[in-house]
Amino acid sequence: MIKGSNKYEKLAESLQGIYTLETLANRLKIDRSKAIYVIHRLRKLGYVKTSYESGKKRLYNISLKNKQKGISYTQWINSSLPTASYAIVASPNDYYIHDRKPSYEESLIYAIKQRDVRYLIASLILFRKITDWKLLYRLAKKDNLVSEVIALYEVARKIVKKIKRMPKRFLTLGKKKKTNQFHYIVQGISSDDFKDIEEKWKVYIPLNRADLEEYRR
């Protein structure tokens, strides 16, 4: 097996991506025990971050970027989740922030901009942590996401406990921005359960109640 930290750096560079223990073993053509040892060495050098998919199966994100001091939006969102079932699998190209923690407001906008159902499911919990609604509105307006933010907020209010009310001014400004033409958050996907919210804000919501059961436990 490879020895020396410099050789493990080269190994980490060649392996960049997301693996289970089994897929890593297959990639390196080694057995399970040796795969565990490789993960151990790479993690010790700072190249591995661990997350969980449904069923609490471990996923190993191997990247040279993991050694950099900083936190990605995906890691920050995952740290806010009440259950690992909704954890997002970070991509090797995930955006990292250095020398500060991201705000929940910017993390919410980041999640919506991914146009990905798993990010949207995880984003609902962020509404519980929003404190600067002016900042959220400013960020949403900048990316033309005001209607999307309000529609997802209304979904969150139905599903997630302890979410504070959105200021009336945010809703008022949102109504002024609303168009009469429907648009998608995730292209081609709409909801069976939140038709009232879709109609109200002209936004197709790519979530159903069944997707959000963990929030109700």
Residue pLDDT tens, the chain, 217 long: 445 567 888 999 999 998 999 999 999 999 999 999 999 999 888 888 888 776 678 889 898 877 766 788 888 998 888 877 888 877 666 777 877 889 999 999 999 999 999 999 999 999 999 999 999 999 999 999 999 999 999 999 999 999 999 999 999 999 988 888 999 999 999 999 999 999 999 999 999 999 999 887 7
Residue 110 confidence (pLDDT): 96
Structural domains of the chain in order of their starting residue, each with its CATH number: 1-68 (1.10.10.10), 70-217 (no CATH)
What tokens does 13 get?
A: 């560079």
Written as one string, the DSSP assignment of 79-113 is: HH-S-GGGPPPPPTT--EE-SSPPPHHHHHHHHHH
Q: Are 132 and 140 in contact (CB under 8 A)?
A: no
Residue 1 confidence (pLDDT): 45
Residue where the block lists tokens 């997802």: 152
Distance CA 72, CA 57 (A): 21
Residue 26 confidence (pLDDT): 95
Burial label for 64, CB within 10 Å (0-12, 13-18, 19+), is middle
Q: Are 57 and 20 in contact (CB under 8 A)?
A: yes
Distance CA 9, CA 48 (A): 11
Contacts of 126 (CB under 8 A, 6+ apart): 77, 80, 104, 107, 108, 111
The answer, as to whether pTM is greater than 0.75, is: no
Residue 5 confidence (pLDDT): 64
Residue 44 confidence (pLDDT): 84
Contacts of 90 (CB under 8 A, 6+ apart): 18, 49, 51, 61, 72, 74, 75
